[in-house]
Each structure stands twice: as structure tokens, then as C-alpha cells.
Amino acid sequence: MGQPHDESADLEFTDFIEKLAFLIDHSANDAERVMGAEDLVKELIRGACSWLTPDKRQPSDEHYARHSLYRDPQDRFELLALVWKPGQCTSLHDHDGTWGVEAVLEGQIEVTNYFIVEEHADQTVRLAHTGAFTIGRLSTGRILPPADCHILKAHGDETAITLHVYGKQLRKFKVFEQSEDSDLYVVRDYYVDYVSPQ
């Protein structure tokens, strides 16, 4: 027999979605939205997170797994769960001009942040490294352009799971590849299919 259905978890997740939609509609700007969304995410992840079903906790051997949890029909936001085996990581990327909140549900994640200093017409940018740190369970972080470029990597020898809330469906984002000049990066667009890694 399968596990009994947890209706309270469904209600908890639905309540989060409703509160987030209300927040987005009644906030004056993205700075307010991202701060309010972080508070809602902290409230959501305090418990057992039984709203994250076993099928959304499955890793991939090839790269970190990306699971869609919710896409707002008005494209005001989306929720993703990413599942990381030890050592799996993203490329250096941005978030296509939108705000976001990221939270660690299990394990630990290394975050390496960058800031765009200059943009050039030849599809290159100059980036400044602004810091690196490791965060663990129940930790959250805000993304607000132009401070939205980073690399995420699973830390340690345990599988990690992260929750990501973005201010629209991320259909594409920019990936930054380092050139021979250590601070200069070549920019290319990456289109998301929810199967491929970043």
C-alpha cells in the first residue's frame, strides 16, 4: 500500500500559494515582493515539508534534478524543487531579470555570488566576485537584479534539496563563461526545458 495522503500538507501548500499571490498583487515593487516572499518561504519550510512529495525528491545521476512544483496561471511566479547529489552544481547564471527566493530544505549548498560591473555590445560582461559561503537547512536567500548572478553547488556527502521561488516562469536565463581575461565573461542564453541542467 502507498503512503496515506496528507491533506494538511496540501492545505499548507495551497495557503502559501494564496498568500504569495496576494503579496505580489499588493506590493509596490520587486524589493517589497522579494522580502515578503522570503518571509512566506521561511514559514512554509519550518515544518516537515510533507507537501514535497517523494516524486519531487528524486535526484538524477547526470546532473541536479529540476522539479516544477507550481506555475502561476498568470505568470506572476513559479516554484521549483532542485535535488542535488554531492558535488552537482549549476553554471554561473542569472535569473532573466526577475526576483527570487531560494531555500535549503535538506543538506548544504555552496553559493558563489557575482555582480555585473559592465555590459558590452559584443555579448560579454565584466563580473566582480562578491563572496562565497555555505548554507544549510532552513537557510534562505534573496535574489534581486542586478545582484542575481551566482553558482550553486551541493556541499558535503549528502543529497541536498532546495526550494526556488521566482517572480515569473524562468523560460530562459543567461549563462556566463569565463574568457581569457579573468573578469570578462561571454554571455549566452539558456532555454529551460525542466530536464536539462543549468
pLDDT tens readout for residues 86-137? 999 999 999 999 999 999 999 999 999 999 999 999 999 999 999 999 999 9
Q: Could you tell me the pTM of the whole model?
A: 0.91
Q: pLDDT tens digit string along 38-96?
A: 999 999 999 889 999 999 999 999 999 999 999 999 999 999 999 999 999 999 999 99
Closest CA to 152 of 116, 100, 74: 100
Closest CA to 64 of 117, 9, 102: 102
Q: Which grid cell is 89?
A: 552544481
Which residues does 3 contact at the CB level (< 8 Å), separation at least 6?
54
- Cell 515582493: give the residue: 33
The CATH code of the domain at 54-191 is 2.60.120.10
CA–CA separation, 161 vs 155, rounded Å?
11
- Class of residue 48 by CB neighbours under 10 A (exposed 0-12, middle 13-18, buried 19+): exposed
Residue 174 and residue 189 in contact, taking contact as beta carbons nearer than 8 Å = yes
Which residue ranges make up each domain of the chain?
54-191
Q: What is the DSSP letter of 42?
A: H
